[in-house]
Amino acid sequence: MSKTVTDNTLQAIISHAKEYGFVFPSSEIYDGLSAVYDYGPYGAQLKKNIRDDWWKSMTQMNENIVGIDAAIFMHPTTWKASGHVDSFSDPLIDNKDSKKRYRVDHLIEAHADKLMEEAAKDNDGGATLRDRAKQLIADMEVLLANDDFAGLGTLIQTNKIQCSVSGTSNWTEIRQFNLMFSTELGSVAEDANTIYLRPETAQGIFVNFLNVQKTARMKIPFGIAQTGKAFRNEIVARQFIFRMREFEQMEMQFFVKPGTQKEWYEHWKNERMNWHLSLGIAANKYRFHDHIKLAHYADAALDIEYEFPFGFKEVEGIHSRTDYDLTRHQEFSKKKLQYFDTEINQHYVPYVIETSIGLDRMFLLILSNSYEEETIQKEDGTTDSRVVLHLPTKLAPLKLAVLPLTKKDGLPELAKALMDECKPSFHCFYEEKDAIGKRYRRQDAIGTPFCVTIDHQTKEDNTVTIRYRDSMQQERIPMSEVKALILKHIA
Ligand code: GAP
């Protein structure tokens, strides 16, 4: 049997995720809510498994990292201190004819993509078009880094960038739009305070720096990890769960002695890439993207990018944030956030290396990397096809499907005994309906790595057929070895 593989497409992944209970549009019966999604039975479990693996890699595998779970709502001054009230915004532009609103960088990037597409079709002028596209992106990056909105406006006009709806270049001025969602705390209007839904989990770590350091008796260098929801009023909803308005982050702030930040930055850059590779994802699907223009508080920053079906995009950020955050919280709270280093007998505000990854984005990465449409050439010359998710075994929502060949002759009883043995150790699924081939295909589609079939021979010699998802190979093994074999693969 040989296999050929057809191309992944984001659309196929979105449909598959919905059909098989991974991701649904939020409140779909009311036509959904833009850039908000719900996770179904298999999606919720896959997401939990990714989160658990990250949590383990941080808080269990590193003796000097502890976890916290801070509230989503924080004192409003937090966001003044962090800089989010003043500068957590995107530049936007509206087309006066269609009234469609664009994020400036998305509008320019889409134009550059169009130039690249034209270049691919044009044998003579291709190189010129490609150069123009590259120059456009380079100019945009410089102007964005300098908050030069007039320059960005000119760039859009001189490149004759048009609205995809009206087809015109009749643009408004560029304006800044704050991405934080706000709400009121308190029921009496006069007393109500505006508070924000956190746009990142990191600030919950910074404001708890001393609480954690003292209660967990941490010595620098040490880290604080947290996973949880974050909210951003993204103007342009794009690419499924890649850019959402409500999403989850997995962040770790690593507190170090000033002057040692460069070596810790390198350390976490490598550690984080190793985590990605530990999931069995090919190294050539990843790349580092160093930030050229740094935020005023950072002395180094990079993105870990993955090749999604729509190109290389950021999945995780590594930032060397100096002592900016703790110093700002000291200023605004008037409370000291310093560490006493007994080795040098000195107080100082620690420097911070941050690793920040979007859980939903990582989920999309895992789905994109796993999704495959296969055409199978059978030995008798006929072909068959299947859609399979090659999920890493430790992340798969279900590890084992137990399938009695028939509903009678005592086979379901044997199958249920195997279920009872394995259930406490990992997620199992029992099914006796439909032909065995059809049951295998359903498990392939949700990424279950192992199926075990109980047949009449099982009654005689206590052996079962185990079938491997990726190779579709089958072998006969004693039923008593199933649990240990699967546990070995999960580990
Ligand atoms: N504390 C640093 C911070 O929040 P960020 O680059 O804004 O940095 C970190 O976000 C990660 O969070 C990103 O690399 C991405 O994976 C994820 N993320 C950010 N905005 C997102 C959104 N709107 N939807 C889904 N994930 C998002």
pLDDT in tens, 217-253: 999 999 999 999 999 998 776 789 999 999 999 999 9
Residue with tokens 């999403």, as numbered in its chain: 247
Pocket test for ligand 1, best of 248, 254, 356 (most atoms within 8 A of CB): 356
Minimum-distance ligand 1 atom for the alpha carbon of 234: 23
CATH numbers and ranges of domains, the chain = 2-84+180-368 (3.30.930.10), 89-174 (3.30.40.230), 398-490 (3.40.50.800)
C-beta of residue 374 within 8 angstroms of C-beta of residue 469 = no
Q: How far is the CA of 249 from the centre of ligand 1 (A)?
A: 7
Q: What is the DSSP string of 403-422?
A: EESSSSTTHHHHHHHHHHHH
To test the ligand 1 pocket, which listed residue (105, 247, 353) has its Cβ within 8 A of the most ligand atoms? 247
Q: How far is CA 408 from the centre of its chain?
A: 45
Please work out whether the CB of residue 249 comes within 6 Å of at least one atom of ligand 1: yes
Instruction: Specify whether the CB–CB gap between 363 and 241 falls below 8 A.
Output: yes
pTM surpassing 0.85?
yes
What CA–CA distance (Å, rounded) separates 209 from 223? 10
* Residue 487 token pair: 């546990």
pLDDT digit of tens for each residue in the chain (491 aa)? 444 444 458 999 999 999 999 999 999 999 999 999 999 999 999 999 999 999 999 999 999 999 999 999 999 999 999 999 988 888 999 999 999 989 999 899 999 989 998 988 887 777 889 999 999 999 998 888 788 999 999 999 999 999 999 999 999 999 988 999 999 887 766 666 889 999 999 999 999 999 999 999 999 999 999 999 999 998 776 789 999 999 999 999 999 999 999 999 999 999 999 999 999 999 999 999 999 878 888 999 999 999 999 999 999 999 999 999 999 999 999 999 999 999 999 999 999 999 999 999 999 999 999 999 999 888 888 999 999 999 999 999 999 999 999 999 999 999 999 999 999 999 999 999 999 999 999 999 999 999 999 999 999 999 999 999 999 999 999 999 999 999 999 98
What is the residue with the minimal CA distance to atom 25 of ligand 1?
Answer: 243
Burial 303-339 (b: 16+ CB within 10 A, else e): bbbbbbbeeebbbbbbbbbbbbbbebbbeeeeeebbb
